[in-house]
């Protein structure tokens, strides 16, 4: 018997004849872990959640929860018997019940369990105090999303599935809610799978992330490793946090790039000397130095509050993003030259 | 296949089979032998039946278009004294069936009728009969039906006008359209599907009408069917005439369906902004008030006043007519039919929802076609079918009592109402269900609720308004219904409609007033109860 909390083994998730995610395998080892599935819209992420919830059947492979098979090609445990809660993207609140009744609707399952949260606690945590007597049509989409989440939490599920839980919530409230929800999920030790297309959200919430691209699960790892050690060009392109530049491996710990010169660092994968590779340069890899002789032209500057992102253009027309602290002594304008500190050292060299 | 034979399949199949009875009976009878009456009819009156039917249809459609679209136009776009009152008062015309309107019209304008009495009281005795216009025959029928049916066009067109977004008008203005051009080029084309849908309903009611044409002795296909059965005892001829009438209806059904498909493109979007009403002043305001007042007066106040006048003038009919029995009979039919209709509508709708089966969906679509079958055809076809079934049963089992279970019984009557009004009930529940997103059911399952618990905790509480609305709409239809009740009712079983018809056909219009008044009273009460939904702009 498997000792993993949840295990997906070679399952093909089918949304339609053309839209499917093939041969997916991943596991959640410990109860209380949070997993985020990241991918572009329409890739089949919601189908994965619906299948785990039992609302859709599997054609091949097997899903086990706490060691028991809940879905396989010849068996599908009914959704109401799984103790898995799904908070839908459209919220699916019951229109004829007010907010507090909607939340209490979820308490049917937890009557016998040692559940320390009351609906009042969840209402407070999710900032729903002013809405309790209101009906779903009287609240905003973001508020409805929070109510839906509270209702799912009230059922104290073995596994909580959240479909784009923060998609309709204002940025100002999002950060605080993410903090609160993560705290609640960890305190309640509720194992959760979150589907999202926002990598910031996923990296904050998740213990592990799965990247779904081109009908398959491309990478399943911790957020840190996903970001710093992407395993394919597709993952790099999806995360969109850097650029791939042509370079040549010149030794065990360095390579040469036409414009940037010698770059030193530790290769995460070994390449023979002389190999032409694509080197990933992320915004934090290069450092600004006004005195440096290595200069590139600024073609764009974005102010992001805590930092600037300068976009620098090489002679090859490649565009390299570079972070600079926003308290930097002076700002550079577009069309000006931007100095890059040399020699360049990147902690881990990601090449393909 | 057999593992699919659950309660949903069985109920959907049962409803479809019941609805199929009259349709199949009419179509199979087309190849049966008939008496000489059909040949006689073909050589003599058949063309006239068809001509009269078409003539009535054109007249009624023209007038209902003018009344319905005109009233909807004034009430939707303009503000004038009494507009809020007219908005709901105009739907009271639904409470007056065309045949009762016909009684009032005749009573008022006939020789020595109410008009004559009024003129004599006002100006003294004189030969007024020569100058009082006579509304009888085709003209009387067209007037009666138009005032009774224009509500269909009014309600649907008004809802469509309401959903014209101000944004569209503003775009029109931006493109240089005047107000008149905006109305003709933007508003009217958008409302066209609703107007066509309303006119199609009017046309179906007009083709199905029996009470009015029978009272005015107009030979139409409906009266032809009734006469073939009652006067010549020739069910096959009746069914063959029904076939012709059903062909008419099928064309209308297709037109209506086609226009409804277009209507989905006219639903409001997120950017919907209602059109602000234009304040009318002077003669324009006076014209709007006069138009709506005249329509309200002639469609409701006039027939009701006539009936009240006669009821007061001839109080002896209070003793002659057993009002308690009429009330109880009507209530019994309403109660039994509503129960069956609501239960089966729930079963078929819920079956469609949980099974997502295409086959069940097809069955449901077929089952709602019963509303297109005119009452006369339905009744005659049921008699034909159960007579045939009874003959088979007596030849096999030697018993012929089978027929009496369905013909001339409450059960047969409820069965016929069921076929006729199933679409009303089914569509009512369906439109309620469409508002419950499928993911709501799934949320409930995932919170540990079974399908049955989801049904009782989510669906029933949410749909209770729909159930109430359906119950009331069925009640209105059954109270007004005449031909089915007349043909299939048990011996000596009377409703307000049959009692009024019985007196009117004996030329005792003054006696018909009391049951007619009660009929209008009940129907108006139910209409007022549901006016919020009828005028809900959806």
| Closest by Cβ to A92, choosing from B435, B439, B461 | B439
Ranges of chain A with pLDDT below 70 = 1-2, 109-116, 328-330
Which burial class, exposed, middle or buried, applies to A303 when counting CB atoms under 10 A from its CB (0-12, 13-18, 19+)? exposed
Q: Is B356 on the interface with A (CB under 8 A)?
A: no
Whether the CB-CB separation of A233 and A244 falls below 8 Å is answered with yes
CA distance B200 to chain A (A): 34
Which residues lie across from A212 on neighbouring strands? A217
The predicted pLDDT at position A334 comes to 87
For residue B321, CA distances in Å to B165, B241, B303, B342 come to 53, 36, 20, 32
Helix (H) or strand (E) holding B20: helix B7-29
Neighbours of A292 (CB within 10 A): 14
> d(Cα B251, Cα B480) in Å, to the nearest integer?
26
Task: Tell me whether residues A155 and B443 touch, CB distance under 8 A.
Answer: no
Mean pLDDT of all residues in B476-492: 89
The number of C-alpha atoms within 13 Å of A169 and in the hemisphere containing its C-beta is 23
Residue A45 contacts B where some CB pair is shorter than 8 Å: no
Residue ranges of domains in chain A: 6-235, 242-349
The pLDDT score that the predictor gives to residue B266 is: 45
Secondary-structure breakdown of chain B: helix, strand, coil percentages, each rounded to the nearest 5: 80, 0, 20
A chain contacts of residue B446, beta-carbon cutoff 8 Å: 53, 55, 79-80, 82, 84-86, 152, 155
Of B439, B445, B447, the CB nearest to A106: B447
| Phi, psi angle pair for B374, to nearest 5° | -60, 150
Alpha-carbon span A274 to A277, nearest angstrom? 9
Q: What is the pLDDT of residues B120-142, one digit of tens each?
A: 988 888 888 888 888 878 999 99
Query: Do the chains contact at A85 and B439, CB–CB below 8 Å?
Result: no
Considering just the CA atoms, what is the radius of gyration of chain A in Å?
A: 24
pLDDT, tens digit, 9 for 90 and up, residues B4-52:
557 777 877 888 888 888 888 877 776 766 666 667 667 667 888 889 9
> Which pair of structure tokens corresponds to residue A47?
């189908």
Quickly state the pLDDT bin for B291 (edges 50, 70, 90).
very high
From A152, which residue of chain B is nearest by alpha-carbon distance? B447
| pLDDT higher at A328 or B323 | B323
Q: Which pLDDT tens digit goes with each residue over B226-249? A: 888 777 777 777 777 788 888 877
* Residues in chain A within 8 Å Cβ distance of B447: 85, 105-106, 108-109, 151-152, 155
**What does the pLDDT read at residue B265?**
44
Contact with chain B for residue A78, Cβ under 8 A: yes
Length of chain B: 538
Local structure of B79: helix, strand or coil: strand
Interface residue B458 vs chain A (CB under 8 A)? yes
- What does R_g of chain B's alpha carbons equal in angstroms? 25
* Opening angle at CA B404, ends B401 and B408, nearest 5: 170
Among B418, B336, B373, B43, which Cα is nearest to B210's?
Answer: B373
B446/A108 CB distance under 8 A: no
Interface test with A, best of B437, B444, B447, B462 (most A CBs within 10 A): B447
Nearest-CA distance A192 → chain B (Å): 15
Residues of B in contact with A50 (CB under 8 A): 442
| Per-residue pLDDT at A249 | 92
d(CA A63, CA A25): 9
Q: Write down the pLDDT at residue B315.
A: 85
Residues 6+ apart with CB under 8 A from B393: B399, B400, B402
Number of A to B CB contacts under 8 A, please give it.
Answer: 60
- CA distance linking residue B459 with residue B498, whole number of Å: 38
Shortest CA gap A113–chain B (Å): 14
Which residues in A lie closer than 8 A to residue B449 (C-beta atoms)?
80, 108
Beta carbons within 10 angstroms of residue B237's beta carbon: 26
d(CA A332, CA A170) in angstroms, rounded, equals 32
Quote the CATH superfamily of domain A242-349.
Answer: Nucleic acid-binding proteins (2.40.50.140)
The C-alpha torsion from A150 through A156 and A160 to A163, rounded to 10°, is -20
Does ipTM exceed 0.95?
Answer: no
User: How far apart are the C-alpha atoms of B197 and B156, rounded to whole Å?
Assistant: 8
Tell me the chain B residues in contact with residue A95 when contact means C-beta distances shorter than 8 Å.
435-436, 462
Domains and CATH numbers, chain B: 1-31+317-494 (1.10.3720.10), 46-313 (1.10.3720.10)
- Sheet of A75-76, strand order: A20-28, A6-14, A62-65, A68-72, A75-76
DSSP B216: T
**CA-CA distance, A18 to A76, in Å (whole number)?**
23
Closest partner residue to B448 among A93, A148, A155, by Cβ?
A155
Best of A95, A145, A162 to mutate (most B CBs within 10 Å, chain B): A95
Chain A residue with minimum CA distance to B440: A92
**Cα torsion at A97, A99, A102, A108 (round to 10°)?**
-130
Q: Phi/psi class of residue A240: alpha, beta or left (left: φ > 0; alpha: ψ in -120 to 50)?
A: left
Q: Which of B436, B439, B449 sits opposite A80 (nearest CB)?
A: B449
CA separation for the pair B334, B197 (Å, rounded): 27
DSSP-assigned letters across all residues of B234-293:
-HHHHHHHHHHHHHHHHHHHHHHHHHHHHHGGGS--TT--BPPPEEP-HHHHHHHHHHHH
Q: Which fold has domain A6-235?
A: Rossmann fold (3.40.50)
Three-class SS string for chain A? CCCCCEEEEEEEEECCCCCEEEEEEEEECCCCCEEEEECCCCCCHHHHHHHHHCCCCCCCCEEEECCEEEEECCEECCHHHCCEEEECCCCCCCCCCCHHHHHHHHHHHHHHCCCCCCHHHHHHHCCCHHHCCCCHHHCCHHHHHHHHHHHHHHCCCCEEEEECCCCCCCHHHHHHHHHHHHHHHHHHCCEEEEEECCHHHHHHHCCEEEEEECCEEEEEECHHHHHHCCCCHHHHHHHCCCEEEEEEEEECCEEEECCCEEEEEEECCCCCCCCEEEEEECCCCCCECCCCCCEEEEEEEEECCCEEEEEEECCCCCEEEEEEECCCCCCCCCCCEEEECCCEEEEEECEC
B449 to A108: CB separation less than 8 angstroms, yes or no: yes
- For the entire predicted model, the pTM comes to 0.75
CA distances from B149 to A44, A255, B515 (A): 52, 87, 21
What pLDDT does residue B33 have? 65
B437 touches chain A (CB under 8 A): yes
Write the burial class of residue A206 (CB in 10 Å: 0-12 exposed, 13-18 middle, 19+ buried).
buried
Percent of chain B with pLDDT over 70: 91
CB contact under 8 A, B447 and A95: no
Q: Does B435 touch chain A (CB under 8 A)?
A: yes
Q: Which of 483-502 (B) contact A at CB < 8 A?
A: none
| Residue B439 to residue A90, Cβ atoms within 8 A | yes
User: Is residue B519 scored above 50 in pLDDT?
Assistant: yes
Contact B462 A94 (CB under 8 A): yes
> What is the spatial distance between Cα B470 and Cα B485, in angstroms, rounded to a whole number?
20
The pLDDT tens digits for B130-188 are 888 888 789 999 999 999 999 989 988 888 887 766 667 777 777 777 777 777 877 78
From the candidates B356, B438, B446, which should be mutated to test the interface with A, based on the most A CB atoms within 10 A?
Answer: B446
Question: Contact, B157 vs B68, CB < 8 A?
Answer: yes
A88 class by beta-carbon count within 10 Å (0-12 exposed, 13-18 middle, 19+ buried): buried
Tokens standing for B88?
């709901």
B443–A86 CB contact, under 8 Å: yes
CB of B270 less than 8 A from some CB of A: no
Among chain B residues, CA nearest to A85:
B446
Question: Which of B247-261, B265-279, B357-371 is predicted with the least confidence, judged by mean pLDDT?
Answer: B265-279
A 10 A CB-CB count for B443 gives 29
Report which of residues B80 and B369 the model is more confident about: B80
Please report the pLDDT score of residue B110 as a whole number. 87
Q: How far is A59 from chain B (nearest CA, A)?
A: 19
Strand extents, DSSP E, B39-126:
78-79
Please indicate if any CB of chain A lies within 8 Å of the CB of B354.
no
B445 in A contact zone (CB under 8 Å): yes
Nearest CA in chain A to B435: A95
Contact A36, A199 (CB under 8 A): no
User: Using CB atoms and an 8 Å cut-off, which of residues 203-242 of chain A contact chain B?
Assistant: none
Q: How far away is chain B from the Cα of A194, in angstroms, using its nearest Cα? A: 16
């Amino acid at each position: 018997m498997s000792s993993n909390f949840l295990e997906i083994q070679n399952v093909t998730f089918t949304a339609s004849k053309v839209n499917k995610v093939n041969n997916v395998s991943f596991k959640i080892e410990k109860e209380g872990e949070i997993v985020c599935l990241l991918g572009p819209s329409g890739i089949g992420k919601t189908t994965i959640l619906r299948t785990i919830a039992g609302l859709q059947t599997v054609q091949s492979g097997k899903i086990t929860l706490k060691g028991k098979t809940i879905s396989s090609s010849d068996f599908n445990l009914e959704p109401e018997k799984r103790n898995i809660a799904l908070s839908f993207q459209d919220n699916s609140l019951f229109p004829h019940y007010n907010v507090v009744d909607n939340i209490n609707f979820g308490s049917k399952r937890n009557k016998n369990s040692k559940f320390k949260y009351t609906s009042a606690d969840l209402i407070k945590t999710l900032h729903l105090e002013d809405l309790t007597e209101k009906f779903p049509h009287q609240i905003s989409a973001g508020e409805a999303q929070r109510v839906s989440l509270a209702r799912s939490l009230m059922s104290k599920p073995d596994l909580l599935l959240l479909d784009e839980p923060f998609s309709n919530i204002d940025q100002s409230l999002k950060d605080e809610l993410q903090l609160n929800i993560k705290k609640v999920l960890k305190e309640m030790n509720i194992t959760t799978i979150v589907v999202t297309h926002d990598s910031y959200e996923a990296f904050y919430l998740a213990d592990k992330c799965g990247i779904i691209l081109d009908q398959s699960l491309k990478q399943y790892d911790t957020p840190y490793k996903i970001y710093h050690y992407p395993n394919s060009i597709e993952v790099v392109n999806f995360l969109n946090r850097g650029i791939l530049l042509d370079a040549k491996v010149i030794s065990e710990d360095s390579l040469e790039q036409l414009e940037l010169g010698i770059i030193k660092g530790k290769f995460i994968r070994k390449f023979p000397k002389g190999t032409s590779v694509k080197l990933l340069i992320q915004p934090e890899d290069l450092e600004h130095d006004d005195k440096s002789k290595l200069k590139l032209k600024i073609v764009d500057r974005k102010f992001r509050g805590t930092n600037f992102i300068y976009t620098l253009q090489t002679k090859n027309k490649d565009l390299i993003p570079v972070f600079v602290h926003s308290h930097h002594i002076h700002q550079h304008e577009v069309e000006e030259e931007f100095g890059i500190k040399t020699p360049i050292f990147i902690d881990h060299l990601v090449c393909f | 296949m057999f593992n699919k034979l659950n309660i949903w399949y069985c109920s959907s199949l049962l409803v479809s089979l019941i609805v199929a009875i009259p349709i199949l009976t009419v179509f199979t009878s087309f190849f049966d032998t008939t008496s000489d009456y059909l040949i006689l009819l073909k050589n003599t009156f058949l063309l006239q039946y068809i001509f009269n039917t078409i003539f009535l249809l054109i007249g009624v459609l023209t007038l209902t278009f003018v009344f319905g679209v005109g009233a909807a136009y004034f009430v939707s776009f303009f503000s004038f004294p009494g507009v809020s009152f007219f908005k709901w008062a105009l739907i009271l015309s639904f409470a007056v069936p065309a045949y009762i309107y016909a009684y009032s019209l005749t009573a008022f304008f006939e020789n020595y009728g109410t008009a004559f009495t009024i003129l004599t009281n006002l100006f003294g005795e004189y030969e007024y009969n020569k100058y009082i216009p006579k509304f009888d025959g085709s003209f009387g029928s067209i007037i009666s039906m138009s005032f009774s049916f224009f509500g269909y066009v009014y309600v649907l067109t008004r809802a469509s006008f309401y959903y014209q977004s101000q944004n569209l008008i503003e775009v029109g203005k931006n493109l240089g359209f005047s107000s008149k051009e905006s109305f003709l080029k933007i508003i009217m084309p958008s409302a066209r599907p609703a107007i066509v849908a309303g006119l199609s309903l009017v046309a179906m009611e007009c083709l199905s009408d029996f009470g009015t044409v029978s009272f005015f002795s107009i030979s139409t296909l409906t009266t032809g069917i009734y006469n073939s059965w009652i006067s010549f005892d020739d069910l096959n001829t009746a069914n063959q005439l029904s076939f012709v009438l059903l062909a008419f209806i099928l064309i209308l059904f297709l037109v209506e369906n086609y226009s409804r498909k277009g209507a989905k493109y006219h639903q409001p979007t997120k950017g919907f902004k209602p059109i602000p009403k234009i304040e009318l002043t002077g003669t324009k305001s006076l014209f709007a008030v006069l138009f709506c007042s005249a329509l309200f007066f002639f469609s409701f106040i006039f027939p009701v006043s006539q009936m009240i006048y006669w009821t007061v003038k001839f109080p002896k009919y209070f003793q002659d007519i057993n009002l308690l029995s009429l009330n109880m009979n009507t209530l019994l039919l309403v109660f039994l039919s509503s129960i069956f209709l609501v239960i089966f509508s729930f079963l078929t709708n819920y079956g469609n929802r949980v099974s997502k089966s295409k086959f069940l969906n097809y069955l449901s679509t077929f089952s709602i076609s019963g509303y297109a079958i005119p009452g006369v055809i339905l009744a005659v076809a049921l008699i034909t079918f159960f007579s045939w079934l009874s003959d088979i049963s007596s030849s096999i089992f030697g018993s012929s009592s089978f027929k009496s279970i369905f013909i001339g019984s409450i059960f047969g009557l409820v069965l016929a109402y069921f076929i006729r009004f199933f679409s009303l009930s089914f569509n009512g529940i369906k439109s309620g269900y469409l508002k419950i997103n499928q993911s709501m059911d799934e949320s409930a399952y995932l919170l540990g609720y079974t399908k049955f618990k989801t049904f009782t905790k989510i669906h029933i509480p949410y749909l209770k308004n729909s159930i109430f609305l359906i119950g009331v709409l069925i009640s209105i239809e059954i109270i007004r219904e005449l031909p089915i009740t007349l043909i299939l009712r048990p011996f000596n079983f009377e409703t307000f409609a049959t009692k009024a018809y019985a007196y009117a056909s004996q030329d005792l219009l003054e006696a018909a007033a009391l049951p007619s008044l009660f009929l209008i009273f009940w129907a108006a009460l139910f209409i007022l109860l549901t006016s919020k939904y009828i005028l809900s702009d959806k």
